[in-house]
Amino acid sequence: MTLRPTAGRVEVLPRQFPTNRGGLCQKGWTAAELLDHPDRLTTPLVRDRPGAELRPATWPEALDRVVTGIRRIQAGHGRDAVAVFGGGGLTNEKAYALGKFARVALGTRNIDYNGRFCMSSAAAAGIRAFGIDRGLPFPLADLGTADTLLLVGANVAETMPPLVRYLIEQRERGGTLIVIDPRATATARQATLHLQPTPGTDLAVANALLHVALAEGWVDKRYVDARTAGFEPVRRVAASYWPARVEQLSGVPVADLEAAARALGTADRAIILTARGAEQHAKGVDTVTAFINLALALGLPGRPGSGYGCLTGQGNGQGGREHGQKADQLPGYRRIDDPAARAHVAGVWGVRPEELPGPGISAYELLTALGTPDGPKALLVFGSNPVVSAPRANQVESRLRDLDLLIVADFVRSETAAIADVVLPTAQWAEEDGTMTNLEGRVLRRRALRPPPPGVRTDLAVLAELAGRLGEQGGSAGGVGDGGPAERGAAPGTGPVPGPRFPTDPGVVFEELRRASAGGIADYAGISWERIDAEDGVFWPCPTEDGAGTPRLFADRFSTPDGRARFLPVEHRAVAEEVCPDYPVYLTTGRVLAQYQSGAQTRRIAPLHRAAPGAFLELHPDLAARLGVQDGDEVFVTSRRGEMRAPARITPTIRPDTVFAPFHWAGPARINSVTSDALDPVSRMPEFKVCAVRVEKA
């Protein structure tokens, strides 16, 4: 979108761009309303003692409170006693600076971010199979040209409305749209074929589709032999997922399984996309892997107009996970336990490799360790609201309250900021420059339209000030006086340049990010702000300034050592929490069109609040009749972890054994008080999408 100031206010205008083609959703059209909202924070807040109210403070007082607390806690409990929690909406520059701040200024291994709750399962599956994680390895426009498009757990009509134009284009070309979702969502209602499985059975459905493709001879044997490895074990597993068996497991009729497999197997151009519905499970990585196996067997990845991809969930969900916010990661999508990666990044940062901490723990594990005897005693939160967005939110909120020091940087008083000891008011998206990376891997510019209000600082300025007060304001070509980057094992030309170690100018930070990412999986070395402006964004990897970016991956080889994609055999297994007499109904969660993520911003925008004023619980008419519930009645939803209360919304678009609630609301309507905290063993993704509950009329 394009912004312009109009009579002292900001007006949002559509922009003709290759991805959204001038389209905006309701949230985009109304985004500027938050810039001058009465709830906007413009002064720091501090809490003088437990139980006291937050009060206004000066920046020096607030920063002194933060730095004194950090020093005291680290002196008594070690560097890892201070943790950092970031967000998938931060710009690339801020995500990069936050990871650097945690590891250099704080020296802590304990940093993770809320993207762990969004894309981590697809990322892990993509790395296992392809050696790389990029949401779409092809331009978004390919969707409109697909003969068959399969969406798994993706309700793009409500979560990515501008993308729907590609579905319309695909349908107008005579294409087949298949949607797998337990609900007949606005997206599913546009589908040629809707598969409506029991929550948690998508993996079995994927294996059944592969079984049919094998039986009917639709597997591309030439592609499998030439470009992949490990197919035979997968073929043996798929043999046991005949459609009649999977109908019993999933509730999807045999005829629908066969029709879906036929549409994929006989298409000239087919695309398979997964999203949160497939990923937010304790077996999310294996579920995504099953659909990747199907795509590879059909010869889709790397074929023009075909492929597999993951739909990214947050504003900078792709870039936010590339440059160091994750517990196990350094910039450029490097592993923090890789000695060569540590040497390279340490050289750019001007520290010794051995000074960098090792891997930390995942987001949910970090949040539940807070305030415990061996866990962190302080947490800095940037760009997230875990009181609403984390699973088993009652426990997470309790852990946050147990901290010795909770610092939140935000521009509104979110539910997490409301319980903080220090709140730092930060700039919004229209008040700072930076870059974002979209789901195609296209790096984009975001330009400041106006400066922040008086009393408000950018996140980069906050990090720089804190780092300076903690003794990290230096930084020169020689780093910390240890003989220079070459002596520390850094790659030539990658060492630090003269200037502050934590610059506040996002352009300077991006130049450092380019050097830090050079040679990594997500290589931004050849991307400059000037190129982004000239080329409508640049696709990574882009290792050299005179070379092109990479809009399409896998044309010739995959990013594995031998260039072959990997099949991995995966078996269906039950959800972590099956229904039982005490909790006889499945709960699944998701979003609605007019709200976004934890709702801290969108719930404050009047048109969005009018469109979606509160939470609700969707029930099938048969279930409602058994419970004696009428439309609009207040109902309790109870799990083994907590309770939520909301009005009933009776609809035939959901399975009779399943209820649905959106996760944007706090207080009694907080559905994440109920959700499961079972974790995927690989991605550490919580099982948001299914748990067992009891529903009762209030």
497 compared with 53, residue with greater pLDDT: 53
Tokens of 286: 């294996």
256-274: pLDDT as tens digits: 999 999 999 999 999 999 9
CATH number of the domain that residue 432 is part of: 3.40.50.740
Residue 253 has pLDDT above 80, yes or no: yes
pLDDT at 8: 61
pLDDT at 481: 28
CATH number of the domain that residue 291 is part of: 3.40.228.10
User: Among the listed ranges 43-52, 397-406, 441-450, 478-487, which one has the minimum average pLDDT value?
Assistant: 478-487
Whether residue 388 sits in one domain with residue 274 = no
Q: Where residue 184 falls among pLDDT bands split at 50, 70, 90?
A: very high
Query: Among all chains, which residue has been given the structure tokens 């949160």?
Result: 276
- What are the residues whose beta carbons fall under 8 Å from the beta carbon of 471, sequence distance 6 or more? none
CA distance 411 to 417: 10
568-607: pLDDT as tens digits: 999 999 999 999 999 999 999 999 999 999 999 999 999 9
pLDDT at 474: 35
- 150 belongs to a structural domain: yes
Q: Where residue 1 falls among pLDDT bands split at 50, 70, 90?
A: low
pLDDT at 13: 83
- Percentage, residues of the chain above pLDDT 90: 87
User: Among the listed ranges 209-213, 290-294, 403-407, 598-602, which one has the minimum average pLDDT value?
Assistant: 598-602
Average pLDDT over residues 427-449: 94
Q: Contact, 278 vs 57, CB < 8 A?
A: no
Domain boundary (294, 311, 328) is at: 311
Domain boundary (276, 294, 311) is at: 311
pLDDT at 14: 80
Domain boundary (311, 340, 358) is at: 311
CATH number of the domain that residue 673 is part of: 2.40.40.20
Tokens of 465: 């000030």
CA distance 587 to 638: 10
* Segment (H or E) for 248: helix 243-250
- 544 belongs to a structural domain: no
- 29 belongs to a structural domain: no
- 579 belongs to a structural domain: no
- 556 belongs to a structural domain: no
Residue 473 has pLDDT above 70, yes or no: no
Whether residue 243 sits in one domain with residue 147 = yes
pLDDT at 9: 74
543-573: pLDDT as tens digits: 999 988 999 999 999 999 999 999 999 999 9
Q: Where residue 485 falls among pLDDT bands split at 50, 70, 90?
A: very low
- 565 belongs to a structural domain: no
Provide the number of structural domains found in the chain.
Answer: 3
Residue 2 has pLDDT above 70, yes or no: no
Q: Contact, 377 vs 82, CB < 8 A?
A: yes
Which residue segment(s) compose the domain that 281 sits in? 120-311
Question: Could you tell me what percentage of the chain is helix, strand and coil, using 3-state DSSP and rounding each to the nearest 5?
Answer: 35, 15, 45
pLDDT at 480: 29
Whether residue 488 sits in one domain with residue 387 = yes
SS3 481: coil
- 590 belongs to a structural domain: yes
Q: Where residue 6 falls among pLDDT bands split at 50, 70, 90?
A: low
pLDDT at 12: 84
Q: Where residue 686 falls among pLDDT bands split at 50, 70, 90?
A: very high
CA dihedral 583, 588, 593, 599 (to 10 degrees): 70
pLDDT at 493: 44
SS3 142: helix
Whether residue 488 sits in one domain with residue 348 = yes
* Segment (H or E) for 670: none
Whether residue 287 sits in one domain with residue 268 = yes
Whether residue 437 sits in one domain with residue 404 = yes
Whether residue 241 sits in one domain with residue 162 = yes
Residue 29 has pLDDT above 90, yes or no: no
pLDDT at 4: 60
pLDDT at 482: 30
- 51 belongs to a structural domain: no
Q: Contact, 382 vs 86, CB < 8 A?
A: yes
Residue 492 has pLDDT above 60, yes or no: no
Instruction: Identify which of 554, 566, 326 has the alpha carbon closest to the alpha carbon of residue 441.
Output: 554
Q: Contact, 294 vs 209, CB < 8 A?
A: yes
pLDDT at 18: 81
Question: Residue type at 539?
Answer: F
User: Among the listed ranges 87-91, 499-503, 631-635, which one has the minimum average pLDDT value?
Assistant: 499-503
Q: Where residue 7 falls among pLDDT bands split at 50, 70, 90?
A: low
Distances (CA, A) of 360 to 99, 342, 397: 12, 15, 21
Mean pLDDT of all residues belonging to the chain: 93
Whether residue 272 sits in one domain with residue 156 = yes
CA dihedral 94, 97, 98, 104 (to 10 degrees): 180
Whether residue 264 sits in one domain with residue 133 = yes
Whether residue 223 sits in one domain with residue 168 = yes
Whether residue 247 sits in one domain with residue 103 = no
At 185, give phi and psi (nearest 5°). Answer: -70, 175
Whether residue 164 sits in one domain with residue 92 = no
DSSP line for 293-349: HHHHHTT-TTSTT-EEEE---STTTTGGGTSS-STTEETTTEETT-HHHHHHHHHHH
Residue 475 has pLDDT above 80, yes or no: no
Residue 38 has pLDDT above 80, yes or no: yes
